Amino acid sequence: MLFCSIVFSQKSVPNSTLFTLDGKSLKVLDEISKNKITVLSFWATWCVPCINELDAISEIYDEWQETSNMELIAISTDDSRTQKRIRPMVNGKDWPYKILLDKNQELKRALNISTIPQTYILKGTEIIYIHSGYSPGVEDELFEVIQKNKN
């Protein structure tokens, strides 16, 4: 019972303050649509597997969006050393995602994330799947979960 009670406790995302690339502050829960599947991907410009994951998904993202009502939000955990690299990298790679900044890692800490990439799939605001790390093909597993849970 003790085990069960703990396993299911992290079920939604704490409503931390994040920033847009333009520097506007917002609450993360205001960005998550209640009627959609949302994928939250925690990444950083210096994290190679994170970039591999986001590159891989960007190639099949059109298909994901066509077949299910979903959106991916890429939450950068870069601190001010590398924050200025986010915008040119996103432009240069032509990523189709909404990009938000977790400037001093408030949300990352609240979710107890210690390594990135860490990816969450949310149905509405409820966390239904978590994966940490990336190896090629993980995007196919994510897509299966999205397909299974789409409305």
Partner 1 sequence: MRKLLVLKLFFLTVFVQAQQNDNLTVGFESNSQYYVDDEKTGDFTEKNRFRSNNYLKIDYSISKFSFGVQAEGYEPMSLLNYSPDFNNSNVALYYAKYTSKKIEATAGYFYEQYGSGLILRSWEDRQLGINNALRGGRIRFYPTENVTLSALYGNQRSGFDVSDASIYGFNSEFNISSMLKSNSWNLDIGLSYVGRKEENDDTDYNFNDLTNAFSSRLNFSVNNFYSSAEFVSKSSDAVIIFDKIRNTKPGNAFLFDVGYGKKGFGINANFRRIENMTFYSERNATGNIFNQNIMNYIPALTKQHDYLLTNIYVYQAQPQISFQDFALLKIGEIGGQVDLFYTLKKKTTLGGKYGTKIALNMSYWAGLSGDYDYLNFEYDADFLKFGKKYFSDISLEIRKKWSSDWSSVFYYVNQYYNKRYIEETFGIVETDIFVSESTYKMGIGKSLRFETQHLWSKDDKKNWVGGTLEFNLNSKFAVYVNDIYNYGNDNETQRIHYYNLGGSYTLGAQRFALNYGRQRGGLVCIGGVCRFVPESTGLTANIVLSF
Q: What sign results for the dihedral spanned by CA atoms 23, 128, 15, 117?
A: negative
Interface stretch with partner 1, choices 17-25, 31-39, 61-69 (CB under 8 A): 17-25
Q: Which is nearer to partner 1, 103 or 123 (CB)?
A: 103
Q: Using CB under 8 A, which of 34, 35, 66, 92 touches partner 1?
A: 92
Using only C-alpha atoms, the chain has a radius of gyration, in whole angstroms, of 15
Q: Which residue has the tokens 């408030």?
A: 106
Interface stretch with partner 1, choices 34-42, 61-69, 85-93 (CB under 8 A): 85-93
Crossing angle for the helix pair 48-67 and 138-149, to the nearest 10 degrees: 30
Q: How is the beta sheet containing 70-76 ordered, strand by strand?
A: 25-27, 17-19, 98-101, 70-76, 37-43, 118-123, 126-132
Q: Rule CB under 8 A: which of 28-47 touch partner 1?
A: 45-46
Q: Using CB under 8 A, which of 63, 126, 133, 150 touches partner 1?
A: 133
Residue 132 binds partner 1 (CB under 8 A): yes
41, with CB counted inside 10 A (0-12, 13-18, 19+), is buried
Binding residues (CB under 8 A) for partner 1: these are 1-2, 4-12, 14-15, 22-25, 45-46, 48, 52, 55, 59, 79-85, 87-94, 103-106, 109-115, 118, 129-133, 135-138, 140-141
